Amino acid sequence: MHEMSLAEGIRGIVLDQARAHGFSRVTRLRLEIGRFAGVEKPALEFAFDVVMRGSPAEGAALEMLDLPGQALCFDCGQTVGIEDRLDPCPLCAGTRLLPQGGDEMRIRDMEVV
C-alpha cells in the first residue's frame, strides 16, 4: 500500500511548513490528485488519519480534488482531456496520444490556526 508512504510524505511537508510559518494546527488539507496518479483514495484517507496522529494535522479534514487526465494528440496537435490513458482523441478520434498530465499529486492548500 503506497498510500501509507504518500501520507508520510504529506506529514513531512506539514511539519516543515508548521516550523517555517509557526502554525500549530491544520484544520483542512486539500490535495489535488491526477486521474492517472494511481492513488487509491479510500486507502489514502485511512493512511492520512493514521499517519497524522500526533502531528499538527491530527483530525484535519482531508479533501481530495480530482485533476483530469490530459494528452497531446499527434494527429490534430491539440492537448485534450481524456478519461482513460487508452482513450482516443475526443476531437479527431486519433489514437496517437502522449499523456501530458493527470499523474500528479500535490497539496493545493491547508487551512491552519
Q: What local confidence, expressed as pLDDT, does residue 46 receive?
A: 97
- The fold of 3-112 is hypothetical protein PF0899 fold (3.30.2320)
- Cα angle at 35 between 74 and 84, to 5 degrees? 50
Each residue's pLDDT, cut to its tens digit, for the chain (113 residues) gives 599 999 999 999 999 999 999 999 999 999 999 999 999 999 999 999 999 999 999 999 999 999 999 999 999 999 999 999 899 999 999 999 999 999 999 999 999 99
For 40, the 3-state DSSP assignment is: coil
Q: What local confidence, expressed as pLDDT, does residue 1 receive?
A: 58
